[in-house]
Chain A
Amino acid sequence: MNELVQALPGPFGEAPVPPRRSLRAALRRERQFRVLPGFGLTLGYTLFYVSLIVLLPLSAAFERTARLGPLRFWQVVTTPRVLDSLRLSFGAALLAALINAVFGFIIAWSLTRTRFPGRRILDAMIDLPFALPTAVAGIALTALYAPNGWIGSLLADVGIKVAYTPLGVVVAMAFVSLPFVVRTLQPVLGDLDREVERAAETLGASRLQSLRWVVLPSIWPTLLTGAALGFSRAVGEYGSVIFIAGNIPKVSEIAPLMIMIKLQQYQYSQATAIAVVMLVASFALMFGINALQLWAQRRRSAR
């Protein structure tokens, strides 16, 4: 952030950190290399807009929590009902990410390696969770997996209940996070050098062995990135989950719903405390994913 503050005009112009050389000189120096116009205007507007829409509202959450005090904050987030909701959101998102890592790989593999009629349509359908509003996905999944639904009734026969249980939460989260895994894997699987796989097979490896020893080692950082992107989306998911979850306290209440409940009770500070826990986790994930992506790219270009 300090770097940004030093180099730029705009709302952060009065930098508390003394720059090594004066701002004006730095700008003059940089301007000499710039031929295109509009730098000050577009960057200024960008910073203004980001500050107004993103930074200011987000800082309100942290300010509110700071006023709550560390002791009270700890009390709120360690209430059994709140802890259970956090555990469910993170646990179900992790399970959904793992399931999608397996099936997402199979789907991406089939789409890049097998030619079959309708492949293009199927490929476009993968993005449906991006395009379908979450509330619509929520009621549709509930209708499908309810005990009297098309799939729910089949599963009920073998004694599995999906809707209105934590399993329902996993299903909804698997829905929203699937495209992240498939879309991250597809380009990498497409670029994979098939000569190496062929060579392994010529040397006597079975299909499965070449998959295990040749393909997986070269794609697993990408698989991990895709799963992490899906996880970070699923953790905060609300719309598609609340219909199918049944929202039973301490059983199938997700953390975003807990925030919603606190808000409806006008417990703004408590709602914000839960939100801050989730925000910190999301930001940590975001940096983790950035690092993962860099690592996956480097590994690929090193080959």
Chain B
Amino acid sequence: MIGRQQIPEDLGRYALLAVALLYLMALIALPLVIVFVEALAKDVIPYIRALLDPYALAAMRLTLLTSAIVVPLNLVFGICAAWAIAKFEFRGKNTLITLIDVPFAVSPVIAGLIYVLIFGAQGWFGPWLTAHGLHIIFAIPGIVLVTTFVTFPFVARELIPLMQTQGNDEEETALSLGASGWQTFRLVTLPNIRWGLLYGVLLCNARAMGEFGAVSVVSGHIRGLTNTMPLHVEIQYADYDYVGAFATASILAMLALVTLLAKALLERRQPELRTGAARQA
């Protein structure tokens, strides 16, 4: 009796698992593998040469620069927003939380477009900018701005639920013992939220370095000047330089793998971080 039921039940379970594995293989694992296979299709030397190409290096520099500006900006915002929203009660709070989520709901191309409408030659501030010789669209400031927009919710989204569950008790105790507001934040709040903070920064950085659609609208695709790594991938691919495209892509794929590894480690340390994950990206 037991044996008869056990076998079909396990069979069904393993059949489901096989279907799951097959789907993940076709959609997730093989695309990752093929990036490295294509990058090394003509052996190691062309791969390394493609990576050391001056335009590829310039793209890497711009990507690093963009993320070095954007991540701290959104980090400070995320901490401020989470402090106000998690530690205090005020009217309109839910509206504010919804507003913070807005960039996740907007198509990347539209994110780029709305900045063109403001800073582009035909935009609101276009004539003024032109008169003063300032360039935002088709220049680096535009790239930084749209990247800020698309990565804007990451840190705040991660910190708000975390700080809400932790409550205000510890901070209130610190204050009643004579700590200043800043000391309370630095010595009580910050240690409590550090893993969540790191988690948010990690996701924010991955998106900032990998953003394509929004940056593509405002960049102008000037090689060596306004090309980020994802844009360099696109240009090389359009030029049929597949080794060049996949070589830069392989660096971005490695970044993704490091991000996933760090994310898994942080989740193991603080399991409640996982629950927010579905809302990200």
A residues lining the B interface (CB < 8 Å) = 1, 3-8, 30, 33-39, 41-43, 45-47, 49-50, 53-58, 60-61, 64, 103, 106-107, 109-111, 113-114, 116, 120, 122-137, 139-141, 143-144, 149-151, 171, 174-175, 178-180, 183-184, 187, 207-208, 226, 229, 232-233, 235-239, 243, 255-257, 259-260, 263, 266, 268, 271-272, 275, 278-279, 282-283, 285-286, 290
Contact = CB atoms under 8 A, between A and B. Distances in A.
Interface residues of B, number: 105
Contacts of A126: 24, 28
A46 B81 contact: yes
A283 B105 CA distance: 7
Query: B-side binding surface: helix, strand, loop or mixed?
Result: helix
A131 B260 contact: yes
A60 B108 contact: no
Contacts of B32: 128, 132, 140
Contacts of B20: 103, 106-107, 109-111
B95 A260 contact: no
Interface of A is mostly: helix
A107 B16 CA distance: 8
Contacts of A127: 260, 263, 277
A54 B152 CA distance: 9
A53 B35 contact: no
Nearest to A241: B213
B233 A139 contact: yes
B252 A275 contact: no
Given A60-B114, A103-B19, A144-B31, 5 more contacts: A37-B175, A37-B184, A58-B106, A61-B117, A268-B117
B17 interface: yes
B47 interface: no
A297 B161 CA distance: 16
A272 B115 CA distance: 11
Contact of B80 (A6, A45, A106, A132): A45
Most chain B beta-carbon neighbours within 10 Å: one of A1, A35, A135: A135
B27 interface: yes
Given A7-B91, A135-B233, A125 B24 contact: yes
A91 to B, nearest CB: 16
Contact of B28 (A56, A61, A116, A125): A125
B98 A260 contact: no
B9 A207 contact: yes
A57 B213 contact: no
A131 B256 contact: yes
Interface stretch (B49-57, B118-126, B190-198): B118-126
Contacts of B89: 30, 33
Nearest to A183: B278
A283 B24 CA distance: 31
Q: Please provide the 8 A-B residue pairs with the shortest distance between their CB atoms, ordered closest to farther.
A: A236-B107, A133-B210, A4-B92, A183-B278, A37-B181, A238-B213, A239-B212, A140-B31
A282 B117 CA distance: 20
B109 A238 contact: yes
B143 interface: no
A12 B80 CA distance: 18
Contacts of B201: none
B24 A239 contact: no
23 contacts: A1-B92, A3-B92, A4-B91, A35-B175, A36-B181, A37-B181, A42-B79, A43-B88, A49-B80, A53-B148, A60-B117, A109-B16, A134-B213, A135-B234, A136-B233, A143-B38, A149-B34, A179-B281, A238-B107, A238-B108, A260-B217, A275-B114, A282-B106
